[in-house]
Structure 1
Amino acid sequence: MQQGNCDISPMKEQLKQLLSHITTEIQRSLDNLENENECLLSQFSEIREAFKKVESIAASFYLQCYLSSFTTNYLDLSISIQHLSERRHGALIVIQRNDPLDAFMHSGITLEATLTYSLLESIFYPGSPLHDGALLIQSDRIVSAANVLPVSNVTVEKKLGTRHRAAIGLTERTDALVLVVSEETGNASFAYKGVLHPINSIEPMIESAAR
């Protein structure tokens, strides 16, 4: 995957600290394994949460790198995703990279507007005429909204909704990057090459992009 010019040193330092903590907790669990008076469930829970945080930090920083190659407004994207996630407003945002997408996106309403986080959030506000469907972004422009995407033909988790299946479906066929916010959980994620990556917190990306 092509990456933009971004400094991932802060991410590396955070990951080192978290992975070191995970290693310590795993070793402690191994040491306590033979102790019948020691319950390991709380340790397992802590290790699981630490792994989730590691994935979240890595996804946030790498997403910034991937976006910065194709739009200079990735900070607006990051802010809007954070706000939409907090409010549990469902969203599906396609960032076009190198591959043409005309053959895979249908029925969209042309906008041709400058990309801003306030416009993004208003488009996906519940009840908005344009909130249902995918938004298409090319460079720093919102090209169209309410687009219909192909749904993945590959068997995916049953708990995934239509937005997530559509994000996977488009990225199976093109090199586009697709951002998704679940209206049921508020969880944010991005899809690339048919794989969905959770972003449990996008705040590190916002802080890094703002510097």
Structure 2
Amino acid sequence: MDHANCDFSPMKQSLKEDIRHVIDELQYSLETMDNENNCLLGSFEKVKNEFVYIEMKAATFYLNCYLAPFTDKYPEISLCVQNMSERRHGGLIIIKREDALESFIHPGIPIGANLSHSLLESIFFPGNPLHDGAVMVNQNQIVSAANVLPLSDRFTGDKKLGTRHRAALGLTERSDALVLVVSEETGRVSFALNGNLHPITSPETL
């Protein structure tokens, strides 16, 4: 991942403690491996689950780092995706960073309004004519809605990856944009950056 302005000390400290805990568990497994009565399979399963949790927690931490330099409204965005996740309203939110995006996006409907969680949620409300496309955010403004993004062709035919996720990957493969995705099937929230998709912890922790 590229440079991020990571001034979120409590979250960073918590992440360090989680990593140290896993290291301690692995060290204990190493020390007790010669004990024939000690089966490590349960320990490995526990560590594997903890790694998944740490990965999501780290993604949440870095998401804050990547959003903060480009919009003051990331708490509004966080509240929006939390509410959408709980209601399983699908959504796709582009955070413009430094690259121009016009050549990669089929433009939608201009909005030109101050960013708020309520406006974002209303755009993605099922049945709204704009809810199927992507919303473009530039700094503290909702620039447009119903934008169409290029789809990543790395996952063609992968039924596990929906169109929104492929669109998020497609744009971030071509630019430095950050794209948030809310799945309407599961309510899970992910973000795409540099052509990679990262699941994040429950949105209220953003």
Indicate whether the TM-score tops 0.5: yes
Rounded to whole Å, the distance in 2 between the matches of 1:82 and 1:179 is: 12
User: How many percent identity over aligned positions?
Assistant: 56
CA positional deviation for 1:34: 4.7
Change (3 A) 1:25 1:146: same
Give the distance between the partners of 1:32 and 1:123, measured in 2 at CA.
56
Name 2:74's counterpart in structure 1. Answer: 74
Q: Output one character per residue of 1:184-203: Cα deviation in whole Å (capped at 9) or x when no partner.
A: 12111111111111112233
2:115 corresponds to which letter in structure 1?
L
How far the C-alpha of 1:107 sits from its partner, in A, is 4.2
SS at match of 1:180: strand
- Aligned partner of 1:29: which letter? S
Q: Which runs of 5+ in 2 are unaligned?
A: none
How far 1:106 sits from its partner (Å)?
A: 1.1
Stretches of structure 1 that go unaligned for 5 or more consecutive residues are 206-211
Partner of 1:18: 18
Q: What is the CA distance between 1:13 and its match in structure 2?
A: 1.4
Question: CA deviation digits over 1:81-122, x for unaligned, max 9?
Answer: 122122221111001111111111114111111100111112
Report what 1:171 is aligned to.
172
CA contact (8 A) 2:93 2:137 kept: yes
Residues in 2 aligned to 1:160 and 1:74: alpha-carbon distance in whole angstroms: 26
- CA distance in structure 2 between the aligned counterparts of 1:157 and 1:199, rounded to whole angstroms: 24
Instruction: Decide whether aligned partners of structure 1 residues 35 and 199 sit closer, same or farther in structure 2, where only a CA change above 3 A counts.
Output: same
Q: 1: CA distance between counterparts of 2:38 and 2:157?
A: 35
Give the whole-Å Cα distance in 1 for the aligned partners of 2:169 and 2:97: 16
Shift, 1:168, TM fit: 0.6
Change (3 A) 1:29 1:127: farther
TM-score (norm 2): 0.89
Partner of 2:101: helix, strand, or coil?
coil
- Structure 1 counterpart SS, 2:10: helix
Q: CA deviation at 1:33?
A: 4.0
Q: Is residue 57–residue 201 contact of structure 1 (8 Å, CA) maintained in 2?
A: no
Structure 2 matches for 1:129-148, cutoff 5 A?
Answer: 129-148=129-148
TM-score, normalised with respect to structure 1: 0.87
CA change 1:87–1:33 in 2 (3 A) is farther
Aligned to 2:30: 30
Contact 1:61–1:204 (CA under 8 A) maintained in structure 2: no
Deviations 1:45-74 (A, max 9, x none): 321221122122221122112111111101
Name the count of aligned residue pairs: 204
